[in-house]
Amino acid sequence: MKIKTSEFVVSNTDYKKCPKPDLPELAFIGRSNVGKSSLINMLMQRKSLAKVSGRPGKTQLINHFLINKEWYLVDLPGYGFAKVSKKLKSKWGSMTQDYLTNRPNLACLCVLIDSRLEPQKIDLEFIDWLGEKGLPFMLIFTKADKQSPNKTASNVARFRKVLKKNWDELPPHFVTSSLNTAGRDDVINFIEEIIDSAKA
Ligand code: GTP
Ligand code: MG
């Protein structure tokens, strides 16, 4: 898929106000600071389509972007951000959960995992929740430039091994770096398949 156009559409706190669900949609989620907004910019070949920050908790809204005038890409707030009050945390949590469970055009979710870390409880719990809800997803390991390919491979293998305890079949996974664009072609090709089959 060639990315011809990518434009910001709208930010919302309420899924009910999101654009009419008349196009296939792909959303990006993961722990705060895992690199969601950076990955979106890397995939779309745009410097600052989505807002990036070194401080966790940058993305606080449901952000819709229109890609090639044929599908929506959504940047979501991260989960597990420690430095906000409990009240805010649960507000973000319910905003995101309501969005995820009420969006009929959501074709697939990209769940981002930090490739530097060993399996994190919060990621595993979130993935189990997706399973309960029957939401389709792929795994995208981020920040692969930060360590050796061997280290990345062993962290990825460990994560998949832990998932296998609860899952018979594992979702597709990709290893990426927003810094050096590793993994871009594979992710974009897979997105193309998803969007094409959602349109059909
Ligand atoms: P929230 O919106 O707060 O949930 O964060 P996010 O998941 O959108 O992360 P964001 O893209 O804002 O990136 C967080 C930090 O990680 C920034 O300082 C990025 O520059 C850095 N970062 C993201 N991806 C990569 C990567 O692939 N490699 C390296 N080296 N740094 C990255
Ligand atoms: Mg962000």
d(CA 52, CA 114) in angstroms, rounded, equals: 16
Q: Is the CB of 51 under 6 A from ligand 1?
A: no
| 67 part of a folded domain | yes
Count of Cβ atoms closer than 10 Å to residue 22 Cβ: 9
Query: Ligand 2 centroid vs 93 CA: distance in angstroms?
Result: 15
Q: Which ligand is nearest to the CA of 79?
A: 1
Q: What is the pLDDT of residues 148-197, one digit of tens each?
A: 999 999 999 999 999 999 899 999 999 999 999 999 999 999 999 999 99
Say if CB 164 and CB 127 are below 8 A apart: no
Q: Where are the alpha helices (DSSP H) in 52-148?
A: 86-101, 121-133
- Please give the share of the chain, as a percent, with pLDDT higher than 90: 80
Number of domains observed in the structure of the chain: 1
In a domain, 1, yes or no: no
Q: What angle do CA 13, 62, 87 make, to 5 degrees?
A: 50
| Amino acid in position 112 | L
Ligand 1 geometric centre to CA of 22 (Å): 30
How many angstroms does the Cα of residue 57 sit away from the middle of ligand 1?
11
pLDDT digits (tens, 9 = 90+) for 1-29: 999 999 999 999 999 999 999 999 999 99
Contacts 24+ apart (CB under 8 A), 51-58: 56/32, 56/81, 56/82, 56/83, 57/32, 57/33, 57/81, 57/83, 57/84
Asked if the structure places residue 178 within a domain, the reply is yes
| pLDDT score recorded for residue 84 | 56
Q: Tell me the pLDDT band of 76, cut-offs 50, 70 and 90.
A: very high
- What is the number of the ligand closest to the CA of 63? 2
Residues facing residue 75 across a β-bridge = 28, 63
Q: What is the pLDDT of residue 184?
A: 98
Is 11 domain-assigned? yes
Q: Domain range spanning residue 103? A: 6-199
Is the Cβ atom of 143 under 6 angstroms away from ligand 1? yes
Is residue 176, in this structure, part of any structural domain at all? yes
- State which ligand 1 atom lies nearest to the alpha carbon of 52: 12
152 lies in some domain: yes
Q: Is 115 helix (H, G, I), strand (E, B) or coil?
A: coil
Distance CA 22, CA 54 (A): 34
Q: Is 149 a member of any domain?
A: yes
The ligand placed nearest to the CA atom of residue 115 is: 1
Cβ-proximal residues to 87 (8 Å cutoff; 6+ apart), any chain: none
pLDDT of residue 55: 80
DSSP of 176-190: --TTT-TTHHHHHHH
Is residue 33 assigned to a domain? yes
For the domain that residue 16 is a member of, what is the CATH number? 3.40.50.300
Compute the distance between CA of residue 143 and CA of residue 96 in angstroms, rounded to an integer: 24
